[in-house]
Amino acid sequence: MEDERVVASSAGDPRLLSSTPHAPTTPYNNRLMNLPPPPGHPLATYVVQVPKDQIYRVPPPENAGIVERHREAAKNKGKKSKRKYSRYLICIAIVLLVIGVLVSGAIATVYFIFTPKAPNFTVSKLHVKQQKQGSPPTYDVTLKAKNPNEKMGIHCKSDEDSATLTFWTKNLGFGDFPGLEQKPGDDSSIFAIKIHALKTKVVPPNVQKSISDKKTKRQISLKLKFESPLVFNVWFLKLWKKDMTVNCAFRVSTMAQGTKILSQNCKTKLS
């Protein structure tokens, strides 16, 4: 059984002061129960439990300054690295540009000093061989070459069937340019181009008459064309390489024995 005590104040208003089950009544307890309550709201104690993983620590203010200084240092280092890399690239570009200008200037100087000129050709002889009338003949065209370059040698050799001989618009045959090698200023080189007639084509009547008629001379106009790569060199250095095309238009007194070159005009083109 529980004992409950109610103590009245001096004004006569009853207030509940304590409720203690099975608490013995002593003079000390009586004095405590007769004390007035504290003014305002009664005091209370609360216990708040927070999970461990939700407990945060607030860093001191000076840590923010340290972090900011590290960030600024990293940014400055990155900027310095970029500036250094950019300067490095600019230096390389300037060096390459200077080298390019020097090389271009050297090539231009060499080009103007050693201006490449195309060799000059002249037709000096024509000899025609035919076993029997109507059979495909062979035309031997002899040319003389002159190298106008006083400081450069030349060398040229064409591919197979790079030379052609025509009468008006009719092709008489194909041949090989044997090649040419000359020293600077050489004007004594002589070579022959052998033109073989096509077996499937008939020899033009005017050409056949000029070959067969040994008593009456029949003049014939012909065109010789050949192509070849041309190399200019100084000693062992190959300075330039160009494509050469030679066109020779010439007229002969006859295509039989005793042929004479009556007129000619040879043009050499470099590309």
Please report which helix (H) or strand (E) contains residue 163, including its range: strand 163-167
DSSP at 256: S
pLDDT at 222: 97
Q: Which residue has the higher pLDDT, 102 or 41?
A: 102
Q: What is the mean pLDDT of residues 59-76?
A: 65
Query: In this structure, what token pair is assigned to residue 129?
Result: 């061989």
At residue 250 the predicted structure's pLDDT band, cuts being 50, 70 and 90, is very high
264: pLDDT strictly greater than 50: yes
Q: Up-side HSE of residue 265: CA atoms within 13 Å toward CB?
A: 2
pLDDT at 179: 87
Name the least confident of 31-40, 104-113, 172-181: 31-40
Nearest alpha carbon to residue 229 among 118, 114, 147 = 118
Nearest alpha carbon to residue 141 among 110, 107, 171, 178 = 178
Q: Please, what's the largest Cα pairwise distance for the chain? A: 177
Alpha helices in the chain (DSSP H): 27-33, 61-113, 205-212
Tens of pLDDT along 156-192?
887 677 899 999 999 999 998 888 899 998 988 999 9
pLDDT at 197: 92
1: pLDDT strictly greater than 50: no
